[in-house]
Structure 1
Amino acid sequence: MSFPSDFLWGGATAANQCEGAYLEDGKGLSTADVMTLGSHTQKRKTTKTVESQYIYPSHQAVDHFHHYQEDIALFAEMGFTVYRLSINWTRIFPQGDEEKPNEKGLAFYDRIFDELEKYHIEPLITISHFETPLGLQKYGSWENRKVVDFYMRYAKVLLERYQGRVKYWLTFNEINCMSTMPWVSAGIASDNEQIRMSAAYHQFLASAKVVQLAHQIDKNNKVGMMYCGHFAYPHSPHPSDMIATTDFMHQMLFYCDVQCRGYYPNYKIKQFERDGIVLPMQDGDEEILKHGTVDFLSYSYYFTHVTGMKTKGIYKGLNGIDTGYQNPYLPVSEWGWSIDPQGLRYSLNLLYDRYQLPLMIVENGLGAVDVLENGKVHDPYRIDYLRQHLLELEKAITLDGIPVMGYTMWGPIDIVAASTGEMKKRYGFIYVDVDDYGQGSMKRYKKDSFYWYQRVIQTHGESLKEE
């Protein structure tokens, strides 16, 4: 077979984008809970508190909190062997700084794991997926080293309670988003680079400590990092475009360098010196980073960039695609994201050549407007997108020898889009009858892609060659 016998097939979600029930069983507010509905042309707003004049998509989402049994049964019907999900930090520690966890919140995830075990689906848990407790704002969120201790208390509860039930862990979702959307990533509402880099430093420390703790609690634990997959091609072979692309990628890949190698790369240290950035390093921190490197590298892959001389600094915005150039050789999605299946193979080679760690694709999918007619959704565009990407993934494994652990498509059931807060930007194999304003029956429907992915898993990828 082209895919390894132990290759993990599944899908991925985030708690704030699917669960809803935003105050149920004592849950507190997170950064996601004060982000409003946006659109392709209008950015989401962030409010300090919940205000009645706005729509907050995470408050209801697709109500997975009350539909989890039905949803997981559908995942099992597709044949999932892995399901990536996040624990909502504010279900466990509502304000983030409590001494003791909220038992009702933990009980919810107990039930989730019961369902996954019933169907022999391996959980892959993201400890922090864009759900920083709003209560940590009084400390300055991740800018403050105290938050490392609060995070460690939270992570320790999870690692101990779910010992033997969860083997695969991710410390932070898309940790490099600190440089592009720091509020979403860490509750940081500032463009100040010193503040952002201090917050990133504290997340690196927290991640390294979790790696060490996870290995102490259970030697079978595997802890990975999660990179937001930004990959760039130079605009031309002009040497200045090549150097500009290298500079662009350094802004992202240094996050992987720290978590995979255990130290800051020279190019980043030199940049800090030029910009007057001082890391809040304390005695013993270098050893923590050194001994807390991850076991594997996971990442999201949706698109590629084009960069060059006119790319100015780091890009801004949730979509992160305004680099000054468009790729004339690639089509784009309805939301303007380039569609580049070959770029997936390129990215796998780039990351493995750089780190020599096992890799995992934990997000990959197509956001599109789906139409429900007579209980059916015909989505050949999604099937084509995923098939082309999986064929390139197969090439990376068979032709290039890249060790890929698994693939969790984003997201197997329609969920709130993180970039815009919309429901109409749908990714799923499963259609959920709810619109941008929370109106609908919440009934679940299987799309054509549901049966296609079911066949892919049943044949361990061999059906990809049949079409």
Structure 2
Amino acid sequence: MFPSFIFVGLAISIASGGQTLNTCNLAPKGSPYFPRNFSFGVATSAYQVEGGWNSDGKGPSIWDDFTHNNPHLIDDSSNGDISADSYHRFDQDLAALKELKVDHYRFSISWPRIFPNGDISSRNQKGIDYYNDVIDKLLLNGIEPMATMFHYDLPSEIQKIGGFANALIIEKFVIYATELFEQFGDRVKLWMTFNEPLIYCKSSFADARYPPQVDLSGVADYICVDNTIKAHAAAYQVYRSQFYDRQKGKIGIALDSYFYFPMPNETESVYRALQFNMGFLAHPIFHKSGDYPDIMLKEIESNSLREGRLTSRLPPLKGYWKNIVRHSADFFALNYYSSRYLRRAEKPKGMNPSWERDMDCDEIVDPSWMQAVGSWLHCVPEGLEGMLKFIRDEYDNIEVIITENGWSDKGTLEDDNRIQYIKSHLQAVLNAINDGSNISGYTYWSLIDNFEWKSGYSVKFGLYAVDLMSPKRERSPKKSAYYYKEVIKSRKIPNHINEFS
């Protein structure tokens, strides 16, 4: 028996060839208004917008090293040395936030700006002062700060001892998180420990696309996930035992996944894929089992033994760790962008071993789906509604904050496709709320155009354009900024997009 969310896709299936989903459009269900206390926001991350890569004592991160040493691996040979220069020009970001009238702003804190060598021995007061200034200005203007502790930019000195492939990262992260609680926790009430661990673990330790460019698939990426989830849980325990009574904040971890719709007779495969993706980290934290999904543990152990190993490449959580990982989050932070059709793989996938081969599924894109700049991103709002129902049914309807959702293009100010994407995905959120899902906030990615990792500045996600050719890095609102502003003001989804300019 599989959860009812699986059959969201089946209801719109056709007789042959799988399902047909509406292209970037979604019919409303129930009330047209968001709840009065629903929070709208926008997001950025430190490396992507701050610049100031070596300003005021900041140490190097692995992304500084990677972009400086390998410009040929970035689509436009760029880096984040200056980017939107938010380290020096946060007031311009603040002006945009005030213009939108957002309820919250999600930003990340640069670990090497706080601890240049990754350790408290290098504590940098000027870095602390910068984030104090950001937080104070947000609160002064009635904007809730939502802080992420780690968004890919690991201090280089920690990578020298193995980074997330070394269990010492747990202790290092707890010391860093404790410093953040002590410095900012009196004012920051919404925390996320890590952003998208499955992405950085796979990209950094399986296929070497991201720094530190380790290609030990099916092994190092699983070690990275295991160490990440333990570091998250250990930091959560410190907060609950030492800070919660006086600070009363909430802690989450930002998780991402495609949603999946089944090809004919593939319902069980969809559940399998969701557990290998979202469930990999969500299941230990939010499910009563306190461990990785059973389907993963069994499959990976079986494959490991078949490979001649004595133990599984993904051991179950046990004893102390199982107890502290379970329920180590106060809300579910969801990053959702797109979806795929799914079927069991017709032939072995990926390297042996690898996460892809362990999952053993084929992901399929419908060519009719509206596509952004970049082959991975298509507009499939039904997937967001399905994912929210999955979380509701699988994890006891825990509170959800959507912490990223966005659309990429080449940077046009007349960005009607972005508006259509926002409109349809907000409708998915509202439909899920009207269907009983416990969703308290939505965060668009991103406030401004920024450095998009290996894509550099060749794709744009921002509601505001940034003039990278100008030393002042002026921000200019796009049509989508006006649309989103109207959503926030009216607490409903405007039906027409052409009137906003």
TM-score by structure 2 length? Answer: 0.81
Q: Cα–Cα, structure 1 residues 391 and 286, in superposed 2: closer, same or farther, change >3 Å?
A: closer
CA distance, structure 2, for counterparts of residue 266 and residue 464 of structure 1: 44
- Assess if the C-alpha contact under 8 Å between 2:173 and 2:235 holds in 1: no
- Assess if the C-alpha contact under 8 Å between 1:456 and 1:464 holds in 2: no
| Runs of 5+ unmatched residues, structure 2 | 1-31, 305-311
Q: Cα–Cα, structure 1 residues 442 and 316, in superposed 2: closer, same or farther, change >3 Å?
A: farther
Q: Which residue of 1 aligns with 2:379?
A: 339
Q: Which residue of 2 aligns with 1:414?
A: 449
- Assess if the C-alpha contact under 8 Å between 2:233 and 2:324 holds in 1: yes
- Assess if the C-alpha contact under 8 Å between 2:59 and 2:155 holds in 1: yes
Q: Which residue of 2 aligns with 1:302?
A: 337
Q: Which residue of 2 aligns with 1:48?
A: none
Provide, for residues 254-299 of structure 1, a one-character-per-residue CA deviation record: whole Å limited to 9, x for no partner: 2110122332232222234222325497863232223x52111111
Which stretch shifts more, 97-106 or 87-96?
97-106
1:450 to 468, 476, 481: 481
Provide, for residues 191-222 of structure 1, a one-character-per-residue CA deviation record: whole Å limited to 9, x for no partner: 23222222211111111112222223024111
TM superposition shift of 1:326: 2.1
Q: Which residue of 2 aligns with 1:354?
A: 394
For this pair of structures, how many residues does the alignment match?
438
- Assess if the C-alpha contact under 8 Å between 1:142 and 1:188 holds in 2: no
CA distance, structure 2, for counterparts of residue 397 and residue 196 of structure 1: 35
Q: Which residue of 2 aligns with 1:385?
A: 421
Q: Which residue of 1 aligns with 2:15?
A: none
Aligned pairs for 1:67-466 within 5 A: 67-178=89-200, 180-182=202-204, 187=212, 189-216=214-241, 217-219=243-245, 220-234=248-262, 236-238=263-265, 241-252=266-277, 253-261=279-287, 262-274=290-302, 275=304, 276-277=312-313, 279=315, 284-290=320-326, 293-310=328-345, 312-313=348-349, 323=362, 325-336=364-375, 337-355=377-395, 356-371=397-412, 377-398=413-434, 400-421=435-456, 423-434=457-468, 442-461=473-492, 463-464=494-495
TM superposition shift of 1:352: 1.4
Partner SS for 1:385 = helix
| Runs of 5+ unmatched residues, structure 1 | 46-53, 372-376
CA distance, structure 1, for counterparts of residue 63 and residue 259 of structure 2: 26
- What amino acid sits opposite 1:170 in the alignment? M
TM superposition shift of 1:186: 8.2
- Assess if the C-alpha contact under 8 Å between 2:152 and 2:200 holds in 1: no
Partner SS for 1:2 = coil
Q: Which residue of 2 aligns with 1:49?
A: none
Q: Cα–Cα, structure 1 residues 185 and 211, in superposed 2: closer, same or farther, change >3 Å?
A: farther
Partner SS for 1:426 = coil
TM-score by structure 1 length? Answer: 0.86
TM superposition shift of 1:419: 4.7
Coordinate RMSD, CA, aligned: 2.7
Provide, for residues 230-254 of structure 1, a one-character-per-residue CA deviation record: whole Å limited to 9, x for no partner: 22222x213xx44443333222122
1:65 to 87, 91, 106: 87
CA distance, structure 1, for counterparts of residue 159 and residue 486 of structure 2: 47
- What amino acid sits opposite 2:105 in the alignment? Y
TM superposition shift of 1:229: 2.4
- What amino acid sits opposite 1:139 in the alignment? I
Which stretch shifts more, 60-69 or 194-203?
194-203
Partner SS for 2:364 = coil
CA distance, structure 2, for counterparts of residue 462 and residue 385 of structure 1: 12
Provide, for residues 441-463 of structure 1, a one-character-per-residue CA deviation record: whole Å limited to 9, x for no partner: 51211222222211111111254
- Assess if the C-alpha contact under 8 Å between 2:300 and 2:314 holds in 1: yes
Query: Would you say 1:6 and 2:28 are equivalent positions?
Result: no
- Assess if the C-alpha contact under 8 Å between 1:299 and 1:362 holds in 2: yes
Partner SS for 1:131 = coil
Partner SS for 1:307 = strand
Q: Cα–Cα, structure 1 residues 412 and 3, in superposed 2: closer, same or farther, change >3 Å?
A: same
- Assess if the C-alpha contact under 8 Å between 2:449 and 2:464 holds in 1: yes
Partner SS for 2:180 = helix
- Assess if the C-alpha contact under 8 Å between 1:363 and 1:409 holds in 2: yes
- Assess if the C-alpha contact under 8 Å between 2:297 and 2:314 holds in 1: no
Q: Cα–Cα, structure 1 residues 194 and 282, in superposed 2: closer, same or farther, change >3 Å?
A: same
